[in-house]
Chains A and B, each alone.
Chain A
Amino acid sequence: MKTLYDKLWDDHLVQTYESKEALVYIDRHYLHEVTSPQAFEGLRHKNLSPWRLNANVATPDHNVPTIRGDSFKAEFIEDEISKIQVMELDKNCNEFEILQFDIESKEQGIVHVMGPELGYTLPGMTIVCGDSHTSTHGAFGCLAMGIGTSEVEHVLATQCLKISKLQNMQVLFQGKPQDGVTSKDIVLHLIKLIGTAGGTGHAIEFAGSYIDSASMESRMTICNMAIEAGAKVGLIAVDQTTLNYVRDHGGMSQQDFEQAQNFWTTLHSDEDAVFNKEIIIDVGTLKPQVTWGTSPEMTVDFDENIPNESDVPLDQVENLKLAKMYMGLEKATTLKDLSFDRVFIGSCTNSRIEDLRSAASVIKGQKVSSNIIEAIVVPGSGLVKAQAEKEGLDKIFEDAGFLWRDPGCSMCLGMNPDQLKPYERCASTSNRNFEGRQGNLGRTHLMSPMMAALTAINGIISDPS
């Protein structure tokens, strides 16, 4: 009678206390340059070493420039403070002997793209990282969540996290999506439905016939954005799709794989497990989803009217007005009325090979609109980039006028030079459309890679069918 989350929780429970808190053992700890320096400083201050070195895997992703080319080194980063942060990660990983795929490594990438494809994410693990999109790894039947820097220090020092158990929520995605509707559209639709606080305090397990037939890449996109629905944990049961992916990625021996597989196939909710909240969504009727406002829940069908003051509850009118003003929607009835300035295809949500294939499939033989200042494609990792180049996707993008970049978080959050200028409007495959997220006063519309690629070609939102 246990949910998958209950099973993972029980399997890692070190100790309970009188209060709601418990000590939970952590199998994998991913680190990047932005949220780790203060944690390493804390270790030094307390004269501690990492509890279990092998649990930790690091890579720089948030700050790294995406125009690097061959033989790039951290000291070449132009932005002085970004450079310090990337070099600080080098220094900390050297000093504490932590495995790092540094900026010169051919595997370097966004930590949530790189980890699974190198086999560092395995079913049944507890996984943490100082990044809220750590929920991505839940796609492998893992208990994975983002943590703050104090917790990064705590995990380094003790291999444990002190947390309270979450409630269980189940989201069933049933049916087969229409052409042009992807995992991104499906998760955006969920966020529109339940709101950005809809999953707060819950671990969301995604299931249903759509999930059963979805690739690991699509599952990762959905778990990735659980946090945008308020849930720091999103997860999916292990099935043959999971096992196939794990067998094909990373270097586990056949013997270990077979032993582990016996355990991994138990990683699903029991049939009679009880969830505190349940939601069923028919994905067969969905259209492509695009955000219009400054929160991921401000989402509409790509051809639907943008809500007016009369469409929302009274206590939401002010939020709606502020969002519309920020986004410059005074004269727009639908999103099709807006002209776009930039396009960003990338981020831990949508920079995997499936995403790049999907974007490339709709642009072949076409050119980026002359209205678009810049359309960039940023593969999620060195391995994704190499695979895409092997398939000739880079040529398709470049022939159409897209810029083909090196891996990193890039314009998802604009810590590197890839940023929007004030009032520029961006079609983005990332995960957050908050004010200023992609650059001061920039305007972000979230959508799928296919819709973003089409927006680059047409300069406006258009019908993928």
Chain B
Amino acid sequence: MSSEIIQGVVAPFDRDNIDTDQIIPTEYLKSIKKFGFGDYLFDGWRYLDKGLLGMTSSQREINIDFILNQPSFQNSQILLARDNFGCGSSREHAVWALRDFGFKAVIASSFGDIFYNNCFKNQVLPVQLSKENVNILFELSAQSPQDISINLASKELTVGSDLLIPFNVDDNLLNRIIHNLDDVDITMKDKGSIEAFELNYSQKRPWLFK
């Protein structure tokens, strides 16, 4: 699934500090699988009833006011939020839920550190923009649903034909998404370095190796 362009309507979710407990409540962390979390994304806001692992969206009481339940955004692949998105717990299930729902990118003015790292392991691009630019996207979205195109190679985001916003992201991290690379496979190429380090280190700190 190599992809250099992420394109589609952006779902504007106007909140700060959306934590990983909101992205996926603890109830659903009991799964021992890595897929199948899409139905539980934003569970507490998206539904009016309390769910259980194994239930699907169609068995739930939908909160029609919630942004992702509105017809324009039900198939959105890009999420827009404000400050500190993904703060809180380290649960990668939060990224799995966003991915399984269909999100390929999340735009925010800042991210929780652990969440940010987890995104790159799962083909979800976190796009950090200035507060001003995030504000512009929210203002445009308030007028009408906005189509956004994110070019991973050029690190640019375009809205319509006249707004272009560049963004920063580490090239190595970006490559993991563009080429769908697995971290363990990459690091195993440096196996020799790890072995050499460990040999030296175990002599320096012998009490750690008993």
Contact = CB atoms under 8 A, between A and B. Distances in A.
A113 interface: no
Interface in A402-446: 413-415, 432, 434-437, 440-441
Contacts of A385: none
A171 B138 CA distance: 35
Interface stretch (A80-88, A208-216, A272-280, A281-289): A80-88
Given A149-B92, A197-B110, A415-B29, A160 B187 contact: yes
Contacts of A319: 15-17
A170 to B, nearest CB: 18
A440 B187 contact: no
A437 B183 CA distance: 31
Contact of A154 (B14, B53, B173, B187): B187
Interface in B81-107: 83-84, 87-93, 95
Contacts of B209: 54
Interface stretch (B31-39, B67-75, B140-148, B149-157): B31-39
Contact of A197 (B87, B91, B183): B87
B60 interface: no
A440 to B, nearest CB: 5
B32 A154 contact: no
Contacts of B26: 413-415, 437
A124 interface: yes
B131 to A, nearest CB: 9
Nearest to B196: A14
A434 B112 contact: no
Contact of A148 (B84, B88, B90): B90
Given A25-B194, A196-B17, A200-B112, A35 B90 contact: yes
A404 to B, nearest CB: 24
B1 interface: no
Contact of A125 (B122, B190, B208): B208
Contacts of A74: none
Interface residues of A, number: 83
Interface string B21-53: 110011101111110000000001000001001
Contacts of B53: 81
A38 B33 contact: yes
A88 B112 contact: no
A363 B193 CA distance: 57
A147 B114 contact: yes
B44 A148 contact: no
B30 to A, nearest CB: 4
> Which of B30, B122, B170, B190 has its CB near the most chain A CB atoms (within 10 A)?
B30
A23 B170 CA distance: 15
A146 B90 contact: yes
B113 A252 contact: no
A464 interface: no
B128 to A, nearest CB: 11
B160 interface: no
Contacts of B16: 316, 319
A162 B113 contact: no
A20 interface: yes
Interface string A202-227: 00000000000000000000000001
Contact of A159 (B186, B194, B210): B194
Contact of B44 (A27, A150, A440): A440
Contacts of B92: 35, 38, 130, 148-150
A187 interface: no
Contact of B183 (A35, A125, A130, A162): A162
Given A122-B207, A435-B21, A38 B184 contact: no
Contacts of B83: 197
Nearest to B109: A197
Contacts of B15: 319, 322
A352 interface: no
A163 B117 contact: yes
B118 interface: yes
B132 interface: no
Given A81-B53, A160-B187, A131 B113 contact: no
A131 B84 CA distance: 18
A196 B84 contact: yes
Nearest to B135: A315
Contacts of A179: none
Given A25-B198, A319-B17, A259 B206 contact: yes
> Which of B31, B44, B188, B207 has its CB near the most chain A CB atoms (within 10 A)?
B207
A42 to B, nearest CB: 7
Nearest to B118: A148
Contacts of A15: 190, 193, 197
Nearest to A46: B184
Given A147-B114, A260-B207, 9 more contacts: A27-B208, A34-B91, A88-B32, A150-B121, A153-B184, A260-B205, A319-B15, A435-B21, A435-B44
Pairs of residues from A and B, 3 with the lowest C-beta to C-beta distance, nearest first = A150-B121, A37-B32, A148-B92
Interface of A: 12, 14-15, 17-21, 23, 25, 27, 34-35, 37-38, 41-42, 46, 48, 51-52, 54, 62-63, 79, 81-82, 84-85, 88, 122, 124-125, 130-132, 134, 145-151, 153-154, 157-160, 162-164, 166, 196-197, 200-201, 227, 230-232, 252, 256-257, 259-260, 263, 295, 316, 318-319, 322, 413-415, 432, 434-437, 440-441
24 contacts: A21-B172, A37-B32, A38-B92, A41-B34, A63-B30, A88-B32, A132-B88, A145-B114, A149-B92, A150-B122, A150-B183, A151-B118, A157-B187, A162-B183, A163-B117, A196-B84, A197-B110, A201-B113, A230-B84, A256-B206, A295-B19, A434-B88, A436-B22, A437-B26
